[in-house]
A = this chain, B = another copy of it.
Amino acid sequence: MRIAVDAMGGDNAPYETVKGAVLAAQQFPDSEIILVGDESAVRRELSSYRATPKNIVINHAPEVVGMEDPATYSIRQKTNSSITRSVELVAKGGADAVVSAGHTGAAVAAATLHLRTLKGVRRPGIAAAMPTKHGVCLIIDIGANIACKPIHLFQYGVMATVYSKYVFGITNPRIGLLNIGEEDAKGNDLAKETFALLSNSQVNFMGNVEGREIFDGKADIVVCDGFVGNVLVKFAEGLAMSLLSTIKSEAMKSFQAKIGLYLCKPAFQTLKAKMDFAEYGGVPLLGVNGSCIISHGRSDSRAIRNAIRVALQLTQNKVNEQIISELEKTDALTASTT
């Protein structure tokens, strides 16, 4: 397996991306890690290691997409950027998967343009894992598609089922629809029509899920419009940080509580580990013809290594082939729906 890593993407690139690639190369000696980016910058990073693992190669890309670049501009103007080149490698058969911690919009645009969608897929979607009481819940879409139609959400349910099965090992994942109430008839037009589509299909649909129920582990997969999903995951990050910093700053006000906080440290560390995006490594862009993992902009080497692990899992388990076959089964139902 050959994984293309966008060496220049992310807040801490190329330092952390190269470090993560080295870690992954050591952990997965049978795979090849292709560092795509400015060759001299990548070589400089690699020179700080005693020996570059033999399964690391460099693929030069002179340009970098900045976080401030609009996604469409980055695709049209910066055709030699590390993200575009990484995706092109996959498109042309030079790599099996791509990992990028850079500009999410640019990665989605490049992947959609160069890889195209999988057979039968209407729109690609990003699936993010959120920790729950009993494990994780996949939220799809979290920002690839902000004008979702019912058929898109339906397909997200099918795609995430395959991903959940082969990457998280969940046998028969339960799909929920993010909604504003539990009752069947609740929600806006998108929710109501998606409810009907999911109910009348053979997928494992368990009904509407409200925001607060995600954490109870009521569903293994929650489908929603990319606008809502994006707002939600960013909100979760902000709220979690805000809660923890309030506890910390309040505890700092008294000597007794300061000691208490110190004694509680293991509990906070478990919580932190549970919420740690680096654990999951990155989120897959499902539905494109190639494996594409998008990592958090603040990814460190561990997150990059884990993202490479997820990319390998996606590829080795032939998740895309499974998606095509699952979608074919639902074709009869969805053919009549736009």
Give the interface of A toward B (CB within 8 A): 70, 132-133, 143, 146-147, 178-180, 183, 185, 187-189, 191, 210-216, 224, 226-228, 230-244, 246-248, 250-251, 253-254, 256-257, 259-268, 270-271, 274
Bound Cα distance A240, B253 (Å): 22
Q: List 19 A-B contacts (CB under 8 A).
A: A70-B185, A146-B180, A146-B187, A146-B188, A179-B231, A211-B236, A211-B237, A246-B274, A247-B268, A251-B267, A254-B266, A256-B263, A257-B265, A257-B266, A257-B267, A259-B263, A260-B262, A260-B264, A260-B265
Choose among A179, A189, A211, A213 the residue with the greatest number of B CB atoms under 10 Å from its CB: A211
Chain A contact residues: helix, strand, loop or mixed? helix
Question: Which residues in B have their C-beta under 8 angstroms from that of A234?
Answer: 180, 210-212
Question: Which residues in B have their C-beta under 8 angstroms from that of A187?
Answer: 146, 227
Bound Cα distance A270, B212 (Å): 22
Q: How many copies does the complex hold?
A: 2
- Of the residues B228, B256, B264, B271, contact of A261 by C-beta under 8 Å: B264
Q: Is the CB of A267 within 8 A of B247?
A: yes
CB distance from A230 to the nearest CB of B (A): 4
Q: Which residue of B lies closest to A182 (CB)?
A: B68
Question: Which residues in B have their C-beta under 8 angstroms from that of A243?
Answer: 240, 243-244, 271
Question: Which residues in B have their C-beta under 8 angstroms from that of A237?
Answer: 211-212
Q: Which 3 pairs between the two chains have the least Cβ-Cβ distance?
A: A260-B263, A211-B235, A212-B238
Q: Is the CB of B261 within 8 A of A267?
A: yes
Q: Which residue of B lies closest to A145 (CB)?
A: B188
Q: Is the CB of A231 within 8 A of B233?
A: no
